[in-house]
A and B are shown apart, each in its own frame.
Chain A
Amino acid sequence: NAGVTQTPKFQVLKTGQSMTLQCAQDMNHEYMSWYRQDPGMGLRLIHYSVGAGITDQGEVPNGYNVSRSTTEDFPLRLLSAAPSQTSVYFCASSADGTYGYTFGSGTRLTVV
C-alpha cells in the first residue's frame, strides 16, 4: 500500500516550459487535491477533485490545469512555467473530502 505517490521529487524548469506533476493514490479515495507551499508559508489549494471527471478551482488556480480521468490519478499541468511558480507542490487524497487527508511527499519545483 503505497498511499499517495508524487513524481518527480525534484524538477528544474526554464521560464515558459510546460510540464506535468504526477500524483497517484492506491486507496480508492474519491477526493484529491493539489497544494503549493512557498518558503515559510502555509499550504494553498490550487485545484481539487471530488471524483473522476470532476474538478474545481481552489485558492490559486491561475497557471495550472488539472484533469481526473481515473480515481487513482490526478496530474497537475503547468502551462507556461514562471519563476513565481517556484514552490513545493503537495498532492493529497481523502475518502470523503473532510476527514484524514493523506499527503504525498511533495515535488520541489524551481523555475529559472
Chain B
Amino acid sequence: KNQVEQSPQSLIILEGKNCTLQCNYTVSPFSNLRWYKQDTGRGPVSLTIMTFSENTKSNGRYTATLDADTKQSSLHITASQLSDSASYICVVALNTNAGKSTFGDGTTLTVKP
C-alpha cells in the first residue's frame, strides 16, 4: 500500500530557530514529491516540488531534500518566523496515475516568540 508518513506529528520552536520536518514514503513508482504549507482554515499552498532526480530544492527560508533511494525527504526551515506556524504536508505522486497523489497527515509547527 502506498503510504506517506511524516514526523514529528507536532513541533514547537522559538522564533529565530531552525527546524527539520521528516517525510518517509513507500509510494511506487514515484513521480515527484511536494511539500505544502497549510495555514489554519486555509487551503494548502505549494512550497517545493522535486522529481526523483532532484536532491534539493529551496524556496526562500524553506529547503527540501530528497533521497529517492531511501525514500526519505526533509523540509528544513531556517530562521523561523511566527508566520511559519502552520501544518506542513508531504505529498507523493505516482508516475502511473497523474491524477492520484498520496498525502501525509502533516506536521503541525508552532513558532513561539
A97 with B98: CB separation less than 8 A: yes
Contacts of A102 in B (CB 8 A): 46
Q: Which of B39-67 contact A (CB under 8 A)?
A: 41-46, 49
A101 with B105: CB separation less than 8 A: no
Closest partner residue, chain B, to A45 (CB atom): B100
Q: Is B72 positioned at the interface, with any CB of A under 8 Å from its CB?
A: no
Contacts of B32 in A (CB 8 A): 98-99
Q: Is A105 positioned at the interface, with any CB of B under 8 Å from its CB?
A: yes
A105 with B103: CB separation less than 8 A: no
Report which of B45, B93, B99, B105 forms a contact with A42, defined as CB distance below 8 A. B105
Please report A residues at the B interface, Cβ cutoff 8 Å: 4, 31, 33, 35, 41-45, 48-50, 56, 58, 90, 92, 96-106
Please report B residues at the A interface, Cβ cutoff 8 Å: 31-32, 34, 41-46, 49, 89, 93, 95, 98-101, 103-106
